[in-house]
Amino acid sequence: MRVIVVFRALILVSIPLILVLTWVRLLLTPAFINWEYRRASFPPDPYGFTVEERLHWADISRQYLLNGQGIDFLANQNLQDGSPLYNDRELRHMYDVKGVVHGALIVWVGSIIVALASILYLWRKGAVKMARSVQSGAVLTVVLLAGVLSLVTLAWDQFFVDFHHVFFQGNSWLFSLSDSLIRLFPVQFWQDCFLILAIGSALCAIGLWLLARWGERRLGQR
């Protein structure tokens, strides 16, 4: 019985991680960047980056976060006037961000493995219990994301500060408005990221709950 409880708990914890981190990975695609920068409501760069330049440099930054190369990948990037894309402070932050991203992707893969193993075990012990565990994980996801949505819409500034304090040390994430990181990724970009992540993950969780509920009913009729 204790083993079953453990595996149900693993599913409960894994599902929110899987859904949220799946959307994190989707946001780290060229498709999202292209869609985001080409929206009519996306604010222009007051210091002169064109849409095409933003797309180019944002994708370079995205590639760095996902590839296996060191910070020299970004340090060697220069703007058209010959100045470096990022200054030393920005490079240090991007190095830290890459560590967070790679850690998150490891957790994502690990959560998928744990969830699949737990679902398989519970399926053998009782498919209905497995379906209910998945439902519980989906409900937990929606509840957590409802909180995130509330913070993003009602207390964005505090949420953004607290988020960075969790993952980064001190004020290493604060930059001048003229720095490339702010010009490429203004506040609107991050607000859109968190809103899309929260809404997308919540909708997937609702779909997963409906699927698990349907499965529970079908299995209960056997």
Give the span between the Cα atoms of 119 and 125, in whole angstroms.
10
- Give the model's pLDDT for residue 1: 65
Which of 144, 133, 147 minimizes the C-alpha distance to 208? 133
Q: Which two tokens stand for residue 145?
A: 């994301």
C-alpha distances out from residue 208 to 3, 18, 116, 128, 149, Å = 24, 12, 14, 15, 20
Q: According to the model, what pLDDT value does residue 122 have?
A: 86
pLDDT at 125: 77
| pLDDT tens-digit profile, the chain (222 residues) | 688 889 899 999 999 999 999 999 999 999 999 999 999 999 999 999 999 999 999 999 999 999 999 999 999 999 999 999 999 999 999 999 999 999 999 999 999 999 999 999 888 877 787 888 899 999 999 999 999 999 989 999 999 999 999 999 888 889 999 999 999 999 999 999 999 999 999 999 999 999 999 988 876 655
Q: Are 91 and 74 in contact (CB under 8 A)?
A: yes
Q: Please tell me the predicted confidence (pLDDT) of residue 194.
A: 94
pTM beyond 0.85, yes or no: yes
